[in-house]
């Protein structure tokens, strides 16, 4: 019986380690996929239009409580680092467009960066974003520098290092 508990604990620990490893991974040589989105304000955003400046994409949903906590953090980061060239784009997905628009309207002060809706989840699929929130950091050349799933993105050591080097 005791051996069974130890085995279960070992598997749980390994599973947690694997989950933490997958939730934040650095990728330094994979180009971002080509994409195009129309913001809620009607402006076109593409991979090419973002090139030249590092960009933080946040894939989120209105029903996601972690997203609701991270969106104000994204705003604060954007306010602090836009002078250094950082761009931010919030992309609603895995949700109804009316929910995304309603959330944005109800929290206008937070959404000071472009916000779009991924209608058929094509852009999120191209970026392999499945969970909410998913943060994807693109360098100025349009390469994926970092992918982080879940909360705590600002505390990610790889992200902090990237931001310090802006």
Alpha carbons 95 and 136: distance in angstroms, whole number: 19
Q: What region does 51 belong to: left with phi over 0, alpha with psi -120 to 50, or beta?
A: beta
- Asked whether residue 85 is domain-assigned, the answer is yes
- Domain harbouring 88, CATH code: 3.40.30.10
- Asked whether residue 87 is domain-assigned, the answer is yes
- Cα 129 from chain centre: 8
- Asked whether residue 126 is domain-assigned, the answer is yes
**Structural domain boundaries enclosing 106:** 24-164
Residue 95 confidence (pLDDT) above 60? yes
How buried is residue 118: exposed, middle or buried, by Cβ count under 10 Å (0-12/13-18/19+)? buried
- 163 confidence band (pLDDT: 50, 70, 90): confident
- Asked whether residue 119 is domain-assigned, the answer is yes
- Of 127, 163, 150, 160, nearest to 22 by C-alpha is 150
Q: Write out pLDDT tens, residues 41-64.
A: 999 999 999 999 999 999 999 999
- Asked whether residue 102 is domain-assigned, the answer is yes
- Asked whether residue 43 is domain-assigned, the answer is yes
Alpha carbons 90 and 116: distance in angstroms, whole number: 6
Tokens representing 40 are 């809620």
- pTM of the entire predicted model: 0.83
Contact 137/156 with Cβ under 8 angstroms?
Answer: no
- Asked whether residue 8 is domain-assigned, the answer is no
- If one counts the domains in the chain, the total is 1
Q: Write out pLDDT tens, residues 101-158.
A: 999 999 999 999 999 999 999 999 999 999 999 999 999 999 999 999 999 998 999 9
- Asked whether residue 148 is domain-assigned, the answer is yes
């Amino acid at each position: 019986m005791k051996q069974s508990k130890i085995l279960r604990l070992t598997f749980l620990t390994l599973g947690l380690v694997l989950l933490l490893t997958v939730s934040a991974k650095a990728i330094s040589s994979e180009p971002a996929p080509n994409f195009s989105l129309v913001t809620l304000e009607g402006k076109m955003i593409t991979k090419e239009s973002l090139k030249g400046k590092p960009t933080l994409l946040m894939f989120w949903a209105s029903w996601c409580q972690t997203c609701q906590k991270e969106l104000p953090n994204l705003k604060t980061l954007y306010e602090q680092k836009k002078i250094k060239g950082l761009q931010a784009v919030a992309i609603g997905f895995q949700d109804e467009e009316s929910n995304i628009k309603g959330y944005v309207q109800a929290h206008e002060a937070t959404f000071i960066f472009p916000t779009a809706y991924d209608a058929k989840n094509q852009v999120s699929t191209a970026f392999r974003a499945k969970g909410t929130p998913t943060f994807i950091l693109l360098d100025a050349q349009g390469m994926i520098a970092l992918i982080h799933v879940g909360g705590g993105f600002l505390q990610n050591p790889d992200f902090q290092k990237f931001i310090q080097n802006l």
